[in-house]
Amino acid sequence: MLPKYKRILLKLSGEALMGENSYGIDHKVITKYAQEVKAITDLGIQVAIVIGGGNIYRGMNEAETGIERAHGDYMGMLATVINGMALQSGLEKAGLYTRLQSAIKMEQIAEPYIRRRAIRHLEKGRVVIFGAGTGNPYFTTDTAASLRAIEIQADVILKGTRVDGIYTADPEKDPTATRYETITFSEVYKQSLNVMDMTAFTLCQENKLPIIVFDMNKEGNLMQVIMGKPVGTLVKG
């Protein structure tokens, strides 16, 4: 059976990296994710990754942080670079070649984001991690994921979460909630379902980029998604 996708953008939340902890990076999670990514790159899949920063810092809530929103957002973007470096180290330990590209210049540790160079890395089989989100405050790493996926012409965004897809209601609160196998963009709007923030979601819809929401913590799930198995929820036009 052939893989369904050739080039993917994997979005991982910063919080996922915490594992059982309430802050920071659990190296066991990094190792696990690195192995999952290695398995699909071994099939020749081109993998780009956007990682969040919520396990270290979120700039959004000025009332809570006491720091001006835009300033805090830049701090949040730096947090994604720390996560990107951790992930890079894990991926390289798993035997992969990687490049970290940052939307904010920090030449000693990451390449600047250059679209055509990112594509070239992917073509050579390197895993490209996009750090520092979009480089702009008032955005999220979900938006960075949508934007980069469109720019590099990825076939799909894979949003790895703790939940195994999109449900009719919050499955953690409502036991009768059922999972959608596929759903259209307009249905997501109509039902006010929470897939990504609006900016990120609209970018995908306008550019006809499908999204798959799936449970990244279940072993082998990433491979299942790549092979086109009905794992998680597929959002498409």
Q: How far is the CB of 141 from ligand UDP (least distance, A)?
A: 3
What values do phi and psi take at 139, rounded to 5?
Answer: -120, 175
For 74, the 3-state DSSP assignment is: helix
For ligand UDP, give the closer residue by CB, 98 or 141.
141
Tokens of 73: 């957002």
Phi-psi region for residue 178, left (φ > 0), alpha (ψ -120 to 50) or beta? beta
Q: CB nearest ligand UDP: which residue?
A: 52
When the beta carbons of 41 and 134 are compared against ligand UDP, the nearer one is 134
| Least spacing, CB of residue 227 vs ligand UDP, in Å | 26
Is 138 assigned to a binding site?
yes
Burial class (CB in 10 A: 0-12, 13-18, 19+), 116: exposed
140 among the known binding-site residues? yes
161 in a known ligand binding site = yes
Instruction: Answer yes or no: is 136 a known binding residue.
Output: yes
Q: Which residues bind ligand UDP (CB under 6 A)?
A: 13-15, 52-54, 58-60, 72-73, 76-77, 79-80, 133-134, 136-137, 139-141, 143-144
Closest C-alpha to 169, from 201, 197, 193: 193
Instruction: Compare residues 64 and 219 and give the one whose CB is closer to ligand UDP.
Output: 64
Q: Which is nearer to ligand UDP, 26 or 227 (CB)?
A: 26
Is 167 assigned a ligand-binding role in the annotation? yes
Q: Closest distance between ligand UDP and the C-beta of residue 136, in Å? A: 6
**The total number of residues written for the chain in this structure:** 237
Structure tokens at 197: 């923030």
Residue 164 · residue 19 · CB < 8 Å: no
Q: How far is the C-alpha of 15 from the C-alpha of 19, rounded, in Å?
A: 8
Cite the annotated binding site by residue number.
11-14, 53-54, 58, 73, 134-141, 161, 167, 170
Residues comprising the binding site for UMP? 53, 73, 134-141
